[in-house]
A and B are shown apart, each in its own frame.
Chain A
Amino acid sequence: MLERLKILSELYGVSGDERRVRKYIREQVEPLCDEVYTDRMGNLYAHKKGVGKKVMVCAHMDEVGMIVTGVLDSGLLAFTAAGLDSRAIISKRVVVGKDDVPGVIGSKAIHLQSMQERKTVLQMKDLNVDIGAKNKEDALKYVKPGDYISFTTKFSEMGDGLFKGKALDDRVGCAILIELLKENYDCDFTAVFTVMEEIGLRGAQTAVVNVEPDVALALEGTLCNELPDNSRRKSVTRLNEGAVISFMDGGTIVPESMLNALKDTAAKNDIPWQFRQGTSGANDMGPVHQGLAGCKAGVLSVPCRYIHSPVSIASKSDLDSVYRLAKAFLKESRFKEV
C-alpha cells in the first residue's frame, strides 16, 4: 500500500484537474470490480455488485494547489489558489500545466526588503511562478491562463515509522480505498474517488445521487496540529495514536449508530483509534448524508501533520489502522447495524 501511496502522492491532481490521478486509479481498480465508470463531474466509480444495502466509500482524488490567472510582461505567472495559506507556498518548486513545465515560486530577496516588509504577509497576488521565461510572449509558448499549478514534493519515509509527501490529504484515502476493493463484501459496494473536495465538496454532491447509498463512509487525511506550543485539545488528532473516528465536523454530525459500529469494530479487532477532537473542516460526507433521502454517514481519517501545505507527514501505523478498521467494518457487515 505504501508503494502505491508514493505513486499517488507524487501524481499532480489539483482540484478541477484530477485526470492523472483518475487515470492511475482507473487502471488499478478495473481488474477488481464489476464496472468502473465516471460521471460528468469527473468522479470515478468502482462498483462491486451485490445484494442488500448499498454501501458507498469515498476518498477524494484532488489536492490543494494553484491555477495560472495571467502572465506578466516580465514572463512571470500570476496565480490564485484554493485551500492554501499564502505563507506556506513561498520558495517552493512547482509544475505548471499539462506539460509539467517546471517553475519556482520566488519572492523578493531579504536584502531588498525593509524591516517592515520582513514582517508583512505576502499574499497570493504578491507572489509569482517563475518558469525562466524571457517575457510574456515567451512564457505563453509554454503555459497559459487556466493551467493548473502543483507542488512537486517527493514522497519518502522519514523519522520513526513516518512518511512525508504532498497531497496526503487525501491520497491516503485513495490508497486505502483501492486496497479495500481487493475484498468482497456482503452488500452492493461502490468505491467513489471524488473530485473537487477542496473547492467546496463538489464531487460528493453528484456521487450521492449516482450511487444512492444507504450507508456511506469517507476515508480522509485530517488535521493533526501537534506543534509544541499546542495543547492536546488544539492538536485535533495525534500521530501514531490510531485511526481517527469523527463524531462531528464542519459538515456532518455522525449518527450514534455509525459511531458505535465504528468504535465497536475497532475494539473487537484490537485496532488503535482516537477521536477527532475538533469540529473544524468538512469533508465529502457533508453533502452525502444530506443528499436525496439522506443516508447514514461516517468518517475515518489518517492524521496528517501540515495538511494544505506543500508537504505533510503521516504514520504508517495510522494508515494501517484506518485500513484495518474500514476493512473490518465492511467484512463484518457492521454497516447493517447503522
Chain B
Amino acid sequence: MDMVKNITELTSVLGVSGNERAAADVLERLFQKYTSDTWRDPMGNVYARVGSGKPVIMLMAHMDEIGMTVTEIEKNGMLRICPVGGVDSRVLPGSELVVYGKQTLKGVVGCIPPHLLNDSDKSAAYDIYDLTCDVGLSYEKVKEIVSVGDFVTFDNLPPLELKNGFVAGKTFDDRALGAALIEALDILSKRKLNCTVVCVGSTQEELGCLGAAIATYNVKPDMAIATDVCHAPTPGADPQSVVDPSKVSVTTGGNIHPAMYQMIVDAAKELNIPYETSVSMARTGTDAWNIQNQCGGVATGLISLPLRYMHTNVEVISVETLKNCAKILAEVPARIGDDWEDKLCWND
C-alpha cells in the first residue's frame, strides 16, 4: 500500500480540533476499503470494526490538528487570528495559510521587511496576536466570505519527500498514525482473527483528548492501543525527551498497563522491529490518558512515531518507522491468544 498517498489524502483536509468532519470523511472512506462496518458518533469519532468476539481491542489515532481561528477582520481586510491548540507563533511569519470561510482562501502571514526594522524591533519574537493573515481582499469582500470563528490552517501542500525515506509536511501529528491504522487494517484483513478490532479516529485530542473518552465508552474495549507522535532529536532538545526516528517508541509508566507494554514489545521483537522504551511517569499527553480510566478501566498501551518539529508545517517523519508502527498495531491483535485475560490479571 502506498502509505505516503494515504498521508497526503489525510493531511490535505481541514480538521482543526472540534471540526474534524472532513478528516473523518477521508478516514472513513479509507477504512471502508477493508470493512463495511464503519460508523460515527455525535462527538465526531469515526470507527471501523473487523473480526468478532472477545477480546475487543481498540486501536486509536486522533484526527484533529492544531490550527488557528479568525478573531477579527481589520478595516483593510486583513485577518487577526488566535491559536487552537499549541501553535508556535514563531513559525508563522512568512507562512502561507488556508482560511476556511464560505470558500477557502489563500492567506499569507505578513511580516515587516527588514528595511523598516531597527535592532530593537528585530530582537522581539513575533506573537500570533500581533500578526495578520492577508487574504488580499477588501474589508467588504472578506466580510462576505469569512466570519469570526472560521478555522485557519497551515497551507495544505502535499508532503515533501526528503532523503532516506523521510517526509516533511503538516499534520503528521496525528494523521500519519491514521494512515498506520489503515495499513494495520490491510494487514489484519489478510489474517485470521480471534478477537474484535475497532480502529478509531478520535476527535479533540489537542484540546484534552475529549473524543478518546467518548470512543472508549462506545467501544467498551478490553484492551486499547493509542497511537501518537513523540519527539525525535532536534538541536536543543533534552536527550531524555526524544526517540531515534528509526525506532518505534513504546511507552511505559502509570498510564500504561504493564501487560500491554509487554504485548507491544513482544510483537516488535517477533517482527524484528527496532523500538525504544519511552518512560512517562504520569500523563502521557495522548489519548491513552483518557482511554485508561473509562468504563471501569481499560488495559491501555501506547506506541508513538518519533517526529521532528512537532506542531509546525514541516513535521518530519520516517515512513519506514510509520510502517513499523502499523505492523505492530496489527501484530498485537493478530497474535492474541486464549490467555489474554490471564495476561491482564495482576499476579502480584
Contacts and interface: CB of A to CB of B under 8 A. Distances in A.
Q: Secondary structure of the B side of the interface?
A: loop
Contacts of B114: 83-85, 308
B113 interface: yes
A105 interface: yes
Interface string B185-215: 0000000000000000000000000000000
A278 to B, nearest CB: 8
A311 B108 contact: yes
Interface residues of B, number: 64
Contacts of B310: 109-111
Contact of A104 (B87, B94, B112, B309): B309
A72 B234 CA distance: 11
B75 to A, nearest CB: 7
Given A91-B309, A92-B95, A111-B231, A130 B162 contact: yes
B314 interface: yes
Nearest to B107: A158
A132 B75 contact: no
A241 to B, nearest CB: 13
Contacts of B348: none
B160 A88 contact: no
Contact of A309 (B75, B94, B124, B162): B94
A156 interface: yes
B36 interface: no
Contacts of B308: 106, 109, 130
B281 interface: no
Interface stretch (B1-9, B163-171, B250-258): B163-171
Given A106-B316, A227-B132, A311-B96, A306 B108 contact: yes
B115 A223 contact: yes
A91 B91 contact: yes
A104 B159 CA distance: 11
Interface in B68-94: 74-76, 78, 86-91, 93-94
B42 interface: no
Most chain A CB neighbours (cut-off 10 Å) among B160, B161, B241, B311: B160
Contacts of A164: 96, 106, 108, 136
B272 to A, nearest CB: 20
B148 interface: no
Most chain B CB neighbours (cut-off 10 Å) among A84, A130, A308: A130
B104 to A, nearest CB: 11
Contacts of A134: 164
A228 B126 contact: no
A313 B136 contact: yes
Given A138-B164, A164-B106, A280-B116, A88 B94 contact: yes
Contacts, number: 206
A296 interface: no
B231 A223 contact: no
Contacts of A112: 231, 236-238, 241
A4 B231 CA distance: 43
Nearest to A229: B130
B312 A107 contact: yes
Interface string A91-110: 11100000001111111111
B162 A87 contact: no
B157 interface: yes
B273 interface: no
A104 B316 contact: yes
Contacts of A33: none
Most chain A CB neighbours (cut-off 10 Å) among B235, B236, B310: B235
Contact of A92 (B106, B136, B314): B314
B94 A92 contact: yes
A51 interface: no
B123 A121 contact: yes
A18 B187 CA distance: 50
Given A87-B93, A110-B88, A132-B166, A159 B235 contact: no
A87 B111 contact: yes
Interface in A192-230: 223, 225-228
B101 interface: no
Given A118-B125, A160-B136, A309 B231 contact: no
B240 to A, nearest CB: 11
Contacts of A122: 90, 125
B331 to A, nearest CB: 27
A37 to B, nearest CB: 32
Interface in B258-303: 285
B137 interface: yes
Contact of B112 (A89, A93, A227): A227
B136 A87 contact: no
Nearest to A278: B116
A173 B122 CA distance: 28
A74 to B, nearest CB: 7
B51 interface: no
A250 to B, nearest CB: 8
A327 B158 CA distance: 41
B119 to A, nearest CB: 11
A133 interface: yes
A134 B316 CA distance: 13
Interface of A: 72, 74, 76, 83-85, 87-93, 101-113, 118-122, 126, 128, 130-134, 138, 142, 153, 156, 158-160, 162, 164, 223, 225-228, 234, 236, 278, 280-281, 305-311, 313
13 contacts: A74-B235, A87-B126, A104-B314, A107-B309, A108-B309, A121-B124, A132-B163, A134-B164, A159-B105, A164-B136, A223-B115, A227-B78, A310-B94
The 5 closest A-B pairs by CB, nearest first: A159-B136, A132-B162, A132-B166, A88-B94, A91-B91
Given A84-B114, A91-B95, A109-B311, 6 more contacts: A87-B126, A93-B314, A109-B231, A118-B125, A132-B316, A281-B115
